[in-house]
Chains A and B, each alone.
Chain A
Amino acid sequence: MALLELRGVSKRFGGLQALARVDIELEDGVIASLIGPNGAGKTTLFNTLTGLYQPDEGEIRFQNRSLIGLKPEQITGAGISRTFQNIRLFSHMTVLDNVLVGMHSRLDTKLWQIFLSTQKYQAREKAAQRRAIELIELAGLSGRENEWAHQLSYGEQRRLEIARALAAAPKLLLLDEPSAGMNTSEAQSLMALFKELIGRYVQAILLIEHNMRVVMGISDRVHVLDYGEKIAEGHPDEVRQDPRVIEAYLGQGVWTARRP
């Protein structure tokens, strides 16, 4: 049974059909990529999945439970967390606090426990901090815990966003262009990180990516969107040969060139 199941999901903004009856299935243990030309509806799909938008029609099931009508925080609670295409860190909070915010739904301390600063509460906070530091190390940011998020470099901020998303203990991790703005070696280490995550930290990863080296190098499956429609899906090598995909990308040169 699939971890995530989208059936006929549509979303329309005024006259623009951003998503048209999209069906996607995602199995456990899989790294899948969502690709397509600019404006194909990839980020809209993420926003719909995470409750920022409600689909006009269609069904989204996660672990056989419907996500329709849930608020973003409830979806995070259910086990999906994400990063953003244009990094959205909490700039005036420390690296550590950014990651701790990600744990919000996993810490159920009560108000009176905080007021009285009970032993149990303190122990939980300590444990949360330990886990946060572990995730920060995983993201390659050891020793930077007390710096403000906006003081990090661009690549570091991207990795901090991943650590923050992992803090919510998701089963499914959604990454919106994680390697954007990275050089080849940074992208390589990012791919290694993703492989490490599967099975140990998350059950599946769905990523939007323009860097085809990353897509081809890491994906078990690729789903292609164009004008809101899913035009192809399958193993990376199959998708690469698909005439509809080639047509959608024709003239864009994305297959070889990396984004700036």
Chain B
Amino acid sequence: MDLALEILPQVLVDGLVLGFMYALIALGYTMVYGVLEFINFAHSEIFVLGAFVGVEILLMLQSAGLLAAVHPAAVLLLIILAAMVISGLAAMALERVAYRPLHGSPRLVALISAIGASFLLQDGLRLFESLWRNTFYLNYPTLELLDRTMPLAANVVVPVKSILVVVTALVMLWGLNLFVNHTRIGAAIRAVAQDPDTASLMGVPVNRVIATTFFVGGAMGGLAGVLFGLHYSLVNPYSGFFPGLKAFTAAVLGGIGNIPGAMLGGMVLGMLEALAASYLSLATDGAFGAEYKDVFAFAVLILILIFRPKGLLGEKVREDRA
């Protein structure tokens, strides 16, 4: 019991970091589902792409000998912006190439295309890195600033990188909220999510709204990718599979199509996972340990879908007409 209490602060910090990461990724799923009613299965690869953009820039700066010379805050700002822009553009390109030609087809057709895109992007990234660096397992170079720790309270020490994740995510979520609720294009996105036909009759350029949605969702995914890389260091083209699935779970948990729901869902899932990873082993006396944390997330998904398929905050998608 003492041990359980002792590790609790650390577990909560881990949960917070995971939760924000899932929340950022979940936004991409939920926004796209809101406007197109389809699961952008390749969103996990957009997330990984962000992680790779970050590590590539860091490695290039390192080999040019600039990494130590430039202020770490500037470096961080650079990689975060670059990853957001590139991931956002990639998501837009994906929509243009693999989804828009299927507009009007049955939903399963678009979903299958998205799965194909996911696989293609994984191996595409692998191919690129294999030819470019002759390896596709990349390590983030260490930034000394991030490895420091900060005392938060008596005997609770928090790594700077965790604080970075939390602060950046908060800023971005706030920005997204402003964007969706207080700009013209944000209003257009909400209009399309409600009823694309009426929106298009009212003069909303639906295709541009969809493209913007992909860009914004992709940028959030890319940001999550960089933060993931900075926090966990090792990335490979297949790193996105589990975070992606869990973020989707988070989106469903919060209520698909619902932006605050995705944030809440991400938080809840991240916390649950961190708690499961630490306490499952304690509770079962070592019989079942952290290796079951993924199983745990899926169990959550299946349970929500059975008992509360509309999520915690209710979904915001169009009703299917009988």
Residues of A at the B interface (CB closer than 8 Å) are: 47, 52-53
Contact = CB atoms under 8 A, between A and B. Distances in A.
B222 to A, nearest CB: 40
3 contacts: A47-B322, A52-B322, A53-B322
Interface in B273-322: 322
A47 B322 CA distance: 9
Contacts of B322: 47, 52-53
A42 to B, nearest CB: 14
- List of 3 A-B pairs having minimum Cβ-Cβ separation, nearest first: A52-B322, A47-B322, A53-B322
Nearest to A43: B322
A15 to B, nearest CB: 15
A53 B322 CA distance: 9
Interface of B: 322
B107 to A, nearest CB: 16
Contacts of A52: 322
Contacts of A53: 322
A52 B320 CA distance: 13
Nearest to B322: A52
Nearest to B321: A86
Contacts of A47: 322
A39 to B, nearest CB: 14
A49 to B, nearest CB: 13
B82 to A, nearest CB: 47
B7 to A, nearest CB: 49
Nearest to A86: B321
A233 B322 CA distance: 28
Nearest to A44: B322
A121 B60 CA distance: 72
A110 to B, nearest CB: 31
Nearest to A52: B322
A47 B321 CA distance: 12
A52 B322 CA distance: 8
A171 to B, nearest CB: 24
A98 to B, nearest CB: 19
Nearest to B319: A13
A1 B322 CA distance: 32
A75 to B, nearest CB: 15
A52 B321 CA distance: 11
A213 B322 CA distance: 29
A63 B59 CA distance: 79
B104 to A, nearest CB: 15
A51 to B, nearest CB: 11
